[in-house]
Structure 1
Amino acid sequence: MSDPVDQPTDARARLLSHFEAKDTAAHPEAWDELWADGFIPWDKGFPSPALADLLEQRKDLFPTTKERKKAFVPGCGKGYDVLLLSAWGYDAYGLDFSPTAIERAKELEKEVDGKGPHYETQQGVTKGKVVWVTGDFFKDDFLEVVDGENKFDLIYDYTFLSALNPSMRPAWSSRYNELLAPTGKLICLEFPTYKPPSTGGPPWALPPKIYMAHLPRPGEKLLYEEDGDLLESKLGEPSNRSLTRIEHFQPQRTHNVGYGEDGKVTDWISVWSHKR
């Protein structure tokens, strides 16, 4: 495996230059510009191996059931993980601010048509429906298409937080607290864990401590050093609205960018729930 810090250098430089002169409010449109230009180096062409293994191997956390459950993937891009979750029986909602990304997701859904090793319906479940939505994660408009209560039994975050300016992390944590069903589980595939925070983004550096700081303190503005590192010594107590980390481990497999030069996985998986 190649060192993820070195791949791909040109793409990383283009991402940095594309966003550095733009106000945070303009970032959603900036992502759509990249989709329209066909510059999508983050697109891997298939679902997350780490998510696929988690659903297969951890039935204690994610049991198959005839009960209809809802899954949500913000920043879904072409929607590979959305289609995977549908194959596992979830009514799966894929959200992206980019209309171009959502069009590509709809094309992919027609192309695979529930076939192939990633998208065949799993034994013992009924294929879930797939819903694509163009919208803003931080606003409620997209929830108009959600059946029943506007909460989800499973939420999957991978490369979504790493695409957000760090100033948006309090709103990100608060939003997940709102959208996760009382007995639901939030899965975070923590990436990139290997980058120094001073290198900026996107993708922004996301060592496990970032998740461990923000999700138990939804909506709270936390303090960072000038170089972008978290000031852990200034963290207060977790909120009464805290999400609780119930699992934390390194997956056996992940996308290529989640491996170091020694061939070892650098990504982590964390699973979160509401306080019981």
Structure 2
Amino acid sequence: MKAIKTLILAAAVAAAGAAMAGDRLDAIQKSGVIRVGTPADYRPFAMDEAGVIKGHDVDVIQAMAAYAGWKVEFLKTPWKDIEAGIKGNRFDVAVGGITQTLARTSWGEFLPGYAPFGKVALVRKSDLPKYRTLEDLNQPSVRVIKNPGGTNEQFVLKNLTKAQVSTHDKNFEIPGLIAEGKGDVMITETAEAILYAKKNPKLGAAFINKPLTPVSEMGFLMPTDDADYARVMNYLWHLTQIRGDLSRAEAAWLK
């Protein structure tokens, strides 16, 4: 019975797409492949582990694709190139811990938000007592390491103007640099800070109970060129909600 229901659902999605497909949806239906851009460097949302991309967002987008009968093609894309990738039709959706922002909605469209968070600081556990306020971070003696191209970089450049700021291209390597004493602070989001603090006993997450920013959410980011495609993607997202895929991904990666 479950197999029959799955076939009926796939046929319904395909029929709906055929009846009202825009160019993007039509291309996906014909190829049977949805192209997914991701930096793949942001635990626990999407991380390249020895050539296999894993994480919360990976599980969810694969579930969405399975409901539509599509395969997923992951395209590793640096944070700084996400906007160009969306605008340049290099992929159909971007995932991997992408913060919903007003600026991004000017050129892209988000699926419903998830994983509410605030900006926090990943530091050495021994230094936790030193960092109680934003001004404690914004000192000439504090070495901040940032990853280029995302909202964490924007926060650092706006708020930590007095600190020593350096850039490291590989986001997943920065926690190790902090632990080794090669930097003092990594600005990130709640989920990533908690994860790395649990994995490495030398690290601690500052401002967890009172983040440095108001609450925001993550979102899957799509182009705005095909309203039919957007409707189908929202429907597929809804299916992951009501059928438990989102809850399972959250339990596996965000708890």
Q: Which structure's residues are more often strand, by fraction?
A: 2
Q: Which structure's residues are more often helix, by fraction?
A: 2
Question: Greater relative contact order: 1 or 2 (C-alpha under 8 angstroms, separation 6 or more)?
Answer: 2
With the shorter chain as reference, the TM-score category is 0.3 to 0.5
> TM-score normalized by structure 2?
0.32
Which is greater in Rg? Answer: 2
> TM-score normalized by structure 1?
0.31
